[in-house]
Structure 1
Amino acid sequence: MTGGLAAAIVTRVERQPLDLSLLRGSLRAYQDFGARFILAQRRVIIGDEMGLGKTFQVIAAMTHLAAAEDATHFVVVCPASVTINWQREILQHSLLTPYLAHGEQRDQVLHDWASSSRSVLITTYETLRSLEWPPVQASMVTIDEAHYIKNPATKRTQACARLISASPYVALLSGTPMENRVDEFVELIRLVQPELLSSLDRPRLRLGPRAFRRAVAAVYLRRSQSDVLMELPERIDTDDWVHLGNDEMHAYRAAVEAGNWMAMRQAGFRGRSPEKLERLLDLCAEAGANGRKVVVFSYFLDVLERVCRELGPLAAGPITGAVPARRRQEVLDEFSSTDHLQVLVAQIQVGGIGLNIQSAAVVVLCEPQLKPSTEAQAIARVHRMGQIHRVEVHRLCAADSIDERIIALLVDKQRAFDDFAAHSALAAASSDATNPSRDALARQLIAAEQARLGI
């Protein structure tokens, strides 16, 4: 039955016409299939691994609808950090006209978009909530980084749901549709094809990931880099372990005793000459000597600022949440085109989304993150289509610290994702994947460290 279901969908997708007369550029074979999948199935989740060109596949689907079905209006909802990227990609790869509705002129931009034809409105999750909607029906709605709308109780999700329900074609894009629990994935399916929910009840989930993937085959398409990009250069991942020095250990024990979760995670960069910082500077110096640029990611602003101070004129950034999207792109362009800027410094929750940084070949993560998807998205900014060099990834870890417990947590979460969401039945078992909330998780890890240190 599984094979029959997948085969029937494949046949439908392959027979789907695809008019590329309004598209600029050539689709790879898997991207061609992805665009046809969107058109044939109409309301889907594209879960391709980061770096495989989900944006290009959506643009191809939109251009077909404009050319072959006289569709006139399209909407893209995305984080603010990637609005500029969407605008650039649409201009570069299509004859459609992008309209960026974000900021003070958003109402006028919305009016201009509604009055035009073959036009794409690009807006953010937050702006969408304030727009007078809808002035016209969107032929296709795309939600980028769709894991942002996994919680049905939020106003962000509710605003997107209203938009999605009114459109005949919908594409939710996320390389990480399940970050913590399988229920998050189910919520995305509810948005696009709620009729599938009856096949995703708890008894069915207890049958394991294979049954789950069969049930969602009609709505979910995912390909990994190893599946389709045989020419992608090698990636080497290394955990660089250091011991906390006296200053760092003093700061760490004080943070554990105080139950200060954030201070515990930053302790490896405290003191006069912390070992993590020394290792980072060594990695940057080695990369520079070999003509390779570096991207440094951290969750913490204090860490980024210290890294920038130590690197001096070699550093570009930091790119943080306070930096407007257009300025982020300018910093990246300067980094990519200027020889003297050797290291791009970025906050991982900002620089890890929407930026293409193939000019670098070394990635340094200053601390382990709480979700595998956070690290994966950051690394995929560098290890993606267009990269011609081998990519080295270094994760800085402090022995005998909270870093060890977080890495163990990452392994468990990655296993859950691999079971339920890393593969789609169309593109080719475990029990319920459940995790506590972030605050509860922090309390558990703090308590474990306090017990280990006898505090």
Structure 2
Amino acid sequence: MQQKRSRDGSPFADNEIQRKRVRSVSDGTKPMEWEASQPKDQIATDAQIEHVPPKNVCYGALTDVKAEVTYIEISDGLIQPWTSFHSFDLQRQEGAYLLSKPDSTTFGLIDFRTALCLRRLQGFDGVFFRAVISSISFGKIPRKPTKKKIRIDITINIVGPEDTIHRVGDALDNAHAYLQHPVFLESGTKYLNPHYLYDDDIMSDLRHLIGPMPADERLQRMSQVVENVLESLGEAHLPVSHTIDVESIGNCHLIGTKLKLHQIEGIRFILCREDSSLSHTIDSGFLQLVETSLVSRRLGACRGGIIADAMGLGKTLTMLTAIACSRQAAGENLGPTLVVLPSRQILDVWDSEIHRRFQSGTMKSYHFHGDSRVKKKDALLGYDVVLTTYHTLAADSRRGRVLQDVNWLRVVLDEAHWIRNQSTQLFKAAQSLRAETRWCLTGTPIQNSLHDLRSLLKFLRFTPLCDKGLFEKHIIDPLRTDSETSLVNLQYLLRIICLRRSSSLLELPPLQMKTIPIALCAEEQAKYESILADCQNEFDKLVCMDQRSKACVLFATMMKLRRLCNHGTVPLIANFSRSPAVSPGRDVPISDGCQLCTTNGSDTQAMLNELEGCPECGRLLNIDIIPNLGVVSEYNPVVSANLRPPASDFGMLSPPTSEQFFPAGTQYVAEPGYSSKLSAVVSNIKESSCSGSKSLAFTKWRSTLELLGEMFSNVGIKFLRIDGGTNAINRSSIVKRFQEDASISVLIMTIDSCAVGLTLTNADKVHMIEPQWNPAIEEQAIARAYRMGQTKTVTVIRYITEKTVEQNIVALQARKSRLAKFSLSDTADGDLGGALEDMKFVLNPDF
């Protein structure tokens, strides 16, 4: 019999709880056998199995089960929009087991081997079975009568009285069938597994282990090993290319700034990789070790590499100083450097670094961005650094091709993981640039798949290993084995081409984390349930539509609920106009967005138009065209007059405690007319400002900033605001004022446009007003305060609304963190099926 290890969802470390090895029902050596099909008009004689009564427990699930199905008609209300799993009764009929709808009509047949196992449990009083079908498999079932039968994967939960548990376990043992954790179980049902080895043999409820099957253990081990390899790249393993004094030359160009030791080492690494003779020798030696024939297949030296330092280590200053040092070493300007950046806001940050950190005349920069950008390549040749954005680069590659026609001295991709998907226009535009040296700056050179690294190698021209077949053979395939040398090729490759240092070099004070749960008031709860009901009605109309249509409904609902958690029942009236999130003809290639932010659905567009970044893929949504909202004045938030309730005292709320997690059920009395959550935020900021703390507050919604600004004004808290519409001059002015003016307590910001590119180390409190879909953006936001130069203990305060989508988002993040971080497959981003299942998980009110 085929064997596999039971899924390990245990929260205990170091194998405190061991599990039995379990085997699948099918031995995998013969085709699956099927019971004879039942006539369509035959009515089942067994009574329909009732739903699980409270006294029953689930013993576990049989997995690797196949079902042969015909079709199923869907009536309104049968499928909830957020359902990830569907459960059905099983009817026994002449030894066969049939899938049964609530009206007792049957639509599928369980495979023969599983049926044999279930027959072992005949005669056990009160024991019954529930088939569980994932929404993905369920979606494959035809909705209209057809002669064609399809086979789908299902699992079967076995349920019955608690006092029968050991008899059921023994009976399945004799059938060589071993119970796994259910992927789904109705709420309120206890889960006790007779095949689980409990600590001290004391049975306890295992509901915390219920969930989808995680990646196999080998993939999880491989993922952890790859992560360890990345974290081991703390030192440059390359020789110094020349004898110039990098520290002296670098510091002589700087104003009021002295390079840190790790930045000096980074500059030396850059100069070494840009030395054609050294890089050729090093890379050829590596290829010789991998396979001798690879050396002859090189198409030229790879001059450049990857700087993968953690956030806050000063990658921008390191690269700019290296540019200045290389020019001085050459004695002349050999040509311009093109720096490609994620957004206009980050472009302004790099330009500010050049003018603020370096002596006048050290580097001459130009912004290749907007409608006024130059149309001829010769106009760029007199500059040392040309700054542009990914979307401008992509637009220029389709028309104009100014950047494509320049022979660049070097091209630098900031946040280079933006090109990890080789099918996008962003990758193709970057790949086709002509340059002598190429650099990738990214804290995450491998995000989801090891093929993310191959995309960077292809941009860097690291031949021949950037070829998919050779990368698979020499990097991926060895990792699929358990040999001692499986990691050697990957380790050597990263050591010669990648430099990565952790934030431990900064020797920062400890980072404290606090979570404050917020409860919806009765009025907010009623509105929450009303939005879910509207979603159900809309979903019923689309039950036979494609995945994109369903995803649009779920996405719009999720965003409405997330906004409700922040705003409560306050009616928001937009007082500024904005173009659609994705508008044809602009510099944003629609093909480079995800399935959600490129949709034409009006409801989805309405949600996206209130955001600065797509919550699914993180792409900035034309924030350059948002007007400046008067952010410099701390007493002039832009907010509709309809949002202004009477001012009142704000001293009623309790301040934060020193506990890491506030007790569930903590009550915050909402300021009249405002939400429970924002009342808690304002209360906490007011309390901390009295002790001299300065706070940063991040949110996804610009409308949340407007409400917060109004509430701060009501209670006399001075604040400043930055969002995607803040131009570079105002942005710098606001940051300077926040750093210098002790009377200003808080800086409120949109997270999509302000999570990168700002240094705000005078703040010691960071308020995350809502959980983000991608936790990485939260880490980036925290790094605005917790970075080089911080001398105080920084406290991060997260606000989570209980029993809502926010709590489920946190649970989804925790569940994903237990899965393998990296995969070996070459899969493109933007898988709508995965996004759809994630949204269902988040929307499920029964989680």
Report the Cα offset of residue 349 of structure 1.
Answer: 0.9
1:125 aligns with 2:390: yes
Cα 1:150–1:210 change in 2 (3 A) is same
* 1:30-179 matched pairs, under 5 angstroms: 30-41=262-273, 42-69=303-330, 70=332, 71-78=334-341, 79-91=343-355, 92-93=357-358, 95-107=362-374, 111-116=378-383, 119-128=384-393, 129-130=395-396, 132-134=402-404, 136-163=406-433, 166-179=434-447
CA distance in 2, matches of 1:89, 1:18: 24
Corresponding residue for 1:295?
696
How far is the alpha carbon of 1:177 from its aligned partner?
3.4
Alignment CA distance shift 1:142-1:450 (3 Å): closer
TM-aligned CA distance change 1:102 to 1:449, over 3 Å: closer
Secondary structure of the residue that 2:777 maps to in structure 1? helix
Larger radius of gyration: 2
2:464 counterpart of 1:195: yes
Q: Is the contact between residue 110 and residue 121 of structure 1 (CA under 8 Å) also seen in structure 2? A: no
Indicate if the aligned counterparts of 2:697 and 2:769 stay in contact, CA closer than 8 A: yes
Q: Is 2:565–2:801's contact at 8 Å kept on the other side of the alignment?
A: yes
The residue aligned with 2:726 is 323
CA distance in 1, matches of 2:319, 2:729: 22
Contact 2:238 2:496 in 1 (8 A): no
1:103 is paired with a residue of what secondary structure?
A: coil
Task: Select the residue among 347, 359, 368 that pairs with 2:750.
Answer: 347
Could you say if the C-alpha distance between residues 100 and 236 of structure 1 is closer, same or farther in structure 2, counting changes exceeding 3 Å? same
In structure 2, the residue matched to 1:263 is: 560
| Residue number in structure 1 paired with 2:65 | none
**Mean Cα deviation higher: 432-441 or 91-100:** 432-441
* CA displacement, residues 142-177 of structure 1 (integer Å, 9 cap, x when unaligned): 1112222222222222222222xx222222112233
**In the alignment, which residue of structure 1 is the partner of 2:769?**
366
Displacement, 1:361? 1.6
Residues 1:60 and 1:248: Cα distance change in structure 2 (over 3 Å): same
For the residue of structure 2 that corresponds to 1:99, the secondary structure is: strand
Q: What is the CA deviation profile of residues 354-396 of structure 1, one whole-angstrom value per residue up to 9, with x for unaligned ones? A: 1222222211111111222211111111111122221111111
1:286–1:196 Cα change, 3 Å: farther
- Once the 2 structures are TM-superposed, how far is the Cα of residue 329 of structure 1 from its aligned partner? 2.8
- Contact 1:358 1:383 (8 Å CA) reproduced: yes
**CA distance change for structure 1 residues 451 and 53 in 2, over 3 Å: closer, same or farther?**
closer
Secondary structure of the corresponding residue to residue 160 of structure 1: helix
294, 306, 327: which is aligned to 2:707? Answer: 306
Question: Cα distance 1:432–1:244, how it changes in 2: closer, same or farther (>3 A)?
Answer: farther
Following the alignment from structure 1 to structure 2, what is the Cα–Cα distance between the partners of residues 354 and 326? 14
The corresponding residue for 1:250 is: 526
Q: 1:372 to 1:283 in 2, by over 3 A?
A: same
Moved more, 388-397 or 180-189: 180-189
CA distance in structure 1 between the aligned counterparts of 2:564 and 2:480, rounded to whole angstroms: 41
- Whether contact under 8 Å (2:812, 2:838) holds in the other structure is no
Matched AA of 1:72 = G
What displacement does 1:18 show?
A: 4.8
Distance (whole Å) between structure 2 residues aligned to residue 416 and residue 191 of structure 1 = 29
* Structure 2 Cα separation of the partners of residues 333 and 40 of structure 1: 37
- Amino acid in the other structure paired with 1:56: L
* CA distance 1:413–1:47, shift in 2 (3 Å): farther
Q: Decide which moves more: 128-137 or 274-283.
A: 128-137
> Structure with the greater relative contact order (CA < 8 A, sep ≥ 6): 1 or 2?
1
Which amino acid in structure 2 is aligned with residue 121 of structure 1?
A: V
Aligned partners of 2:237 and 2:495 also within 8 Å: no
- Whether the 8 Å CA contact 1:299–1:348 is kept in 2: the answer is yes
**SS at 1:67 equivalent:** helix
Distance 1:63 1:19, change over 3 A: farther
Residue 444 of structure 1 is matched in structure 2 by: 837
How far residue 66 of structure 1 moved from its aligned partner, in angstroms, is 0.4
- Alpha-carbon contact 2:368-2:387 (below 8 Å) kept: yes
SS at match of 1:26: coil
The unaligned stretches of length 5 or more in structure 2 are 1-227, 274-302, 536-553, 570-672
Contact 2:450 2:824 in 1 (8 A): no
Which among 223, 233, 255 is matched to residue 501 of structure 2?
Answer: 223
Which shifted more, 309-318 or 287-296? 309-318
The structure-2 alpha-carbon separation of the partners of 1:281 and 1:98, relative to structure 1 and needing over 3 Å to count, comes to: same
Structure 2 distance, partners of 1:388, 1:398, is: 32
For residue 223 of structure 1, give the secondary structure of its aligned residue in structure 2.
Answer: coil
User: Cα deviations across residues 82-139 of structure 1 (Å, max 9, x unaligned)?
Assistant: 12221122232352222222234320796444135xx111122233332513564221
Tell me the equivalent position of 1:398.
801
**Deviation, structure 1 residue 397:** 0.9
**What is the CA–CA distance in structure 1 between the aligned matches of 2:242 and 2:814, rounded to whole Å?**
40
Segments of structure 1 that go 5 or more residues without pairing to the other structure are: 421-429
Label 1:293 to 1:439 Cα distance change in 2 as closer, same or farther (>3 A).
Answer: farther
Q: 1:280 to 1:441 in 2, by over 3 A?
A: farther
Distance across 2 between alignment mates of 1:124 and 1:451 = 38
Per residue, is there more helix in 1 or in 2?
Answer: 1
SS at match of 2:337: strand
CA distance in 2, matches of 1:410, 1:451: 15
Mapped to 2, the partners of 1:31 and 1:196 lie a distance apart of: 29
Specify the SS of the correspondent of 1:139: strand
Counting aligned pairs with the same residue, the percent is: 26
Provide the residue aligned with 1:241 in structure 2.
517
Write the distance in 1 (CA, Å) between the matches of 2:744 and 2:833: 41
| CA displacement 1:216-251 (0-9 Å, x = unmatched) | 33222211111x112x22211222222222233223
Cα gap change, 1:343 to 1:169, in 2 (>3 Å): same
Asked if the contact 2:340–2:388 (Cα under 8 Å) also holds between the matched residues in 1, the reply is yes
* Partner deviation per Cα, 1:293-352 (whole Å, 9 max, x = no partner): 111111122222222221126454542323334433333233223333321111111010
Determine if contact 1:74/1:141 at 8 Å carries over to the other structure: yes
Matched to 2:521, the amino acid is G
- Work out whether residues 82 and 355 of structure 1, in 8 Å CA contact, stay in contact via their aligned partners in 2: no
Residues 84 and 451 of structure 1, relative CA distance in 2, 3 Å threshold: closer
Q: Whole-Å Cα distance in 2 between the matches of residues 84 and 449 of structure 1?
A: 36
Which residue of structure 2 aligns with residue 12 of structure 1? 238
Distance 2:310 2:772 in 1: 19
Q: Tell me, what secondary structure is at the counterpart of 1:237?
A: strand
3-state secondary structure, aligned to 2:385: strand
Task: Tell me which residue corresponds to 1:425.
Answer: none
Contact kept in structure 1, 2:431 and 2:458, CA below 8 Å: no
- Shift in Å, 1:445: 4.0
